[in-house]
Amino acid sequence: MKKVYFFGKNRADGDASLRNLLGGKGANLHEMTRLGMPVPAGFTISTEVCREYSNIKRYPDGLKEEVIENLKKVESVRGRKFGDPENPLLVSVRSGARVSMPGMMDTILNVGLNKQTVVGLVNRGQNPGFAYDCERRLIQMYGGVVLGISEKQFEDLLVAKKKERGVLKDTELTAEDWVELIGQYKSVVSDFTYKDFPSDPWEQLWGAISAVFDSWNNKRAIEYRRLYDIPDDWGTAVNVQAMVYGNNGKTSATGVAFTRNPATGENVFYGEWLLDAQGEDVVAGIRTPCPINIAQKKNSGPPSLEEEMPDTYLQLLEIRKKLEHHYSDMQDIEFTVEQGNLWILQTRRGKRTSLAAVRIVVNMVEEKLITKEEAILRISPEDIDTLLHPMLDPRVNYDVIAMGLPASPGAASGEVVFTPEDAVALKEQGRKSILVRMETSPEDIAGMGVCEGILTQHGGITSHAAVVARGMGKPCVVGCESISIDYKHQKFRAKDLVVKKGDIITIGGGTGRVILGDVPKVSASRSEKFDKLLTFANEVKKLGIRANADTPESARVSREFGAEGIGLCRTEHMFFGEDRIRAVREMILADTLEQRKHALDKLLPVQKEDFKEILREMHDLPVIIRTLDPPLHEFLPKGSKQVKELAKEMGISEKMIRDKIVLLSEINPMLGNRGCRLGIPYPEITEMQARAIFEATCELIQENLNIIPEVMVPLVAEAKEFENQKKIIDQVAQEVMKKYGVNFKYTVGTMIELPRAALTADKIARTAEFFSYGTNDLTQTTFGFSRDDIGKILPDYVDKGILKWDPFQRIDEDGVGELIKIGIERGKRTNPKLEIGICGEHGGEPHSIEFCHRVGMNYVSCSPYRVPIARLAAAQAVIKEKGGSNETL
């Protein structure tokens, strides 16, 4: 098995396809060499060696010989010899894993320098100050990385020396100063290790290689891998490469360039450079780098590379073009000019903003550099999310006072309020608020509508607050268990801080951050390119994308974002308006069928109007309206003041209301009297809702609109429950058609949100025309996890590796997914035309969307602001199914 791969002078043992074996950096060095680019010669020790080294705790047999042999090739290409006092070859030793892990592992430069070779360097015409500085740097890096000596000891000596010499910059020190420092540095080393600093270049080289391999298992690298889900057994490669110097006089330089603008995505060459400097100087920010070209140079300012070294610049432009065509992606290039010679030290995929990412891929499609499929695969759903919502400015520092669950993306600031009434009051004064609640209930809806963002102490990402906030496209952090709210004194505690009503806070709903004060934000930016990308997605995707929307406004937004219908229109939120909650309460408190019908008669016209506006917005597109779902007691007043008011208003005793509340209360409301379990004992409720839907339909058809209503029955566990409700709905449809003299098409289907519904899908599909998976509830019952209570369990479970992620966020394929597959298979067996979708929160989560595509659903439905993400994810699912991969992005 080959262990070491040589590259140099247009010849390379490896290429870009060997990323797994040679690491990302190494593979690209080999590839660029093959492309004839000026890459300093070197060799790569493979990741397999790293794995073997980790296992057997020593180098595999034969490695030494291969390293010696390849170093000879480098010497030959470079025309210098390693350890030669006359004309010494110096090398860098760098790590390079399959994926970039910036700053995680170690690098050692100038390996091969010692008392003898440094003289050779000087004799070959180098500036003595430069040569000794190089030796000093070697000792410092090697001391730190290989020997484990704190770099501060070296830095302190350097600072003292500059003070002694009365100079500010390193470059002002003389060769003598460096020689003195080298002596001091070596003392530090021998004091620490009880040994002299190794002067043998080979000892240096092997020490450096070992240090790089060992760095794969250092603490920060392990943590990084855990964070980014990188397998421990990938290992790192080691790149040993001839040194070139940008800090070698006025014809030397160093720089970093992007083949396109990484902030905007514009197709212009973009970068920075420094004359007579080393690569780290550009990064470290000690000197301010200069723009790479005239275009980038704003009017006056420091000279550009284009002006100072026009030939080199042209050569770079050529390389830019070649690399972009070759890699068909925006590249991040490191280069060094050593005494007039351009060297390329690295190329890799350039990091970019979300805005740039979208622009780049769309441009590249137009430039025919990449296909639409490639463009789609390269954009992450997070990119889309970023572009749709204002975000915390990443350049600003702030203190996070608490972390909750990221429930609805976007950043928002405002005054803390603890009641929906206060949020409304502030809004009326033109002031911004953040509504802070233990948890929210449908009664809080008005306040939720007017605040800037919502923060709750309890609840998971499918809690009421989260669902409603996403529907409104409003930032929201939930389950922030580290704060403790004191409603009575209108304050909350976070760590040692007390935040009072009126204090300003900022929340980051995409990350779960809570910050004291007003943090600057980057605003949302949908562009023409963004829309174009989503047009590509639509050409590729097979899943339909619908929205969960229950107001005309959210229906309008959904449609604008490209929703192809409404997958879930909840009817219960409509019941909370001032004009209707009273009738709803009358309905619930009714003792007789007559009383109840009387209350329902009042609700009919308002529900009809609600449906009419939504159906009108969505004309030509299907709209699934779900019949009443939540337990009735949710509509009853909670506090004693409210009970009193209601009693007075309705002219009944407080006791009667209290009794009804007790009667309706349940020990486990999630498993209680809700969904179709309301419409079965009280058929008149279903009847009223069906009538409202169908009368709205008829009236819009009379306006010559094409209306496609679909009625959905919730919480079905047994086919007969569905049949019971469908019979009512069908009968009302007939009556309404007759009344209006209008024929319309409609369908009746059901939520599949209980395990039993999935298991008996064959029976339900005998009469149901569509299934919509309610994966929030399905996840609750499949796991036996209450979404309201999971916050206490989940973090510990993820820590202990019991669950990989929150199953309410990303679908649990092993359990819930199995039930979904069973339901689809059984449902389609009975009715091959059955339309199947998902309307749980997973409908907007990319991994879950991919799953929905794979199992053959017809559509996903998600909150309006996630529709673009869902379109992209649905297209990615198609491409991945064909073998496409975005693994290396």
Which amino acids are annotated catalytic? 464, 839
Q: Which of 48, 214, 789, 825 binds a copy of itself (CB under 8 A)?
A: 789
Q: From the CB of 467, what's the least distance to a copy of itself, in Å?
A: 15
Q: From the CB of 689, what's the least distance to a copy of itself, in Å?
A: 19
Q: Which of 115, 351, 638, 720 binds a copy of itself (CB under 8 A)?
A: 720
C-beta neighbour count of 83 within 10 angstroms: 21
Please give the structure tokens belonging to residue 311. Answer: 């030939």
Nearest Cα to Cα of residue 50 among 184, 210, 208, 170: 210
Q: From the CB of 796, what's the least distance to a copy of itself, in Å?
A: 5
* Contact call for residues 690 and 728 (beta carbons, < 8 A): yes
Binding residue count for a copy of itself, defined by CB under 8 A: 48
Residues 650-669 within binding reach of a copy of itself (CB under 8 A)? 666-669
* Contact call for residues 361 and 375 (beta carbons, < 8 A): yes
Please give the structure tokens belonging to residue 573. Answer: 């939120």
Q: From the CB of 24, what's the least distance to a copy of itself, in Å?
A: 32
117 binds a copy of itself (CB under 8 A): no
Please give the structure tokens belonging to residue 582. Answer: 């009273």
750 binds a copy of itself (CB under 8 A): no
Residues 155-174 within binding reach of a copy of itself (CB under 8 A)? none
394 binds a copy of itself (CB under 8 A): no
Q: Which of 451, 534, 717, 824 binds a copy of itself (CB under 8 A)?
A: 717
Please give the structure tokens belonging to residue 774. Answer: 């309610």
- Nearer Cβ to a copy of itself, position 641 or 800? 800
Residue given tokens 């020593």 in the structure block: 58
* Contact call for residues 356 and 377 (beta carbons, < 8 A): no
Give the β-pairing of 391-392 and 400-403: unpaired
Q: Which of 57, 169, 298, 800 binds a copy of itself (CB under 8 A)?
A: 800
Q: Which of 283, 396, 593, 802 binds a copy of itself (CB under 8 A)?
A: 802
- Nearer Cβ to a copy of itself, position 652 or 680? 680
Q: Which of 196, 223, 232, 818 binds a copy of itself (CB under 8 A)?
A: 818
Q: Which of 160, 263, 295, 793 binds a copy of itself (CB under 8 A)?
A: 793
721 binds a copy of itself (CB under 8 A): yes
- Nearer Cβ to a copy of itself, position 385 or 634? 634
Q: What length is written for the chain?
A: 889
Strand ranges (DSSP E) for 223-353?
A: 236-242, 253-258, 270-275, 290-291, 331-338, 341-349
760 binds a copy of itself (CB under 8 A): yes
- Please state, in angstroms and rounded to a whole number, the distance separating the CA atoms of residues 98 and 874: 28
Q: Which of 814, 833, 885, 887 binds a copy of itself (CB under 8 A)?
A: 814
Q: Which of 13, 133, 373, 753 binds a copy of itself (CB under 8 A)?
A: 753
- Nearer Cβ to a copy of itself, position 349 or 677? 677
- Nearer Cβ to a copy of itself, position 709 or 755? 755
Q: Is 261 helix (H, G, I), strand (E, B) or coil?
A: coil
634 binds a copy of itself (CB under 8 A): no
- Please state, in angstroms and rounded to a whole number, the distance separating the CA atoms of residues 203 and 743: 90
- Please state, in angstroms and rounded to a whole number, the distance separating the CA atoms of residues 861 and 628: 19
751 binds a copy of itself (CB under 8 A): no
Q: From the CB of 388, what's the least distance to a copy of itself, in Å?
A: 32
* Contact call for residues 530 and 864 (beta carbons, < 8 A): no
The amino acid occupying position 781 is T
| Residues β-bridged to residue 72 | none
- Please state, in angstroms and rounded to a whole number, the distance separating the CA atoms of residues 335 and 345: 5
Distances (CA, A) of 582 to 443, 576, 577: 13, 9, 9
Q: Is 262 helix (H, G, I), strand (E, B) or coil?
A: coil
Report DSSP letters for 124-148, one per residue: TT--HHHHHHHHHHHHHHHHHHTT-
671 binds a copy of itself (CB under 8 A): yes
230 binds a copy of itself (CB under 8 A): no
Residues 135-154 within binding reach of a copy of itself (CB under 8 A)? none
Site for a copy of itself, rule CB under 8 A: 666-673, 677, 680-681, 715, 717-718, 720-721, 724, 753-756, 759-760, 763, 777, 780-786, 788-789, 792-793, 796-797, 800-803, 812, 814-816, 818-819
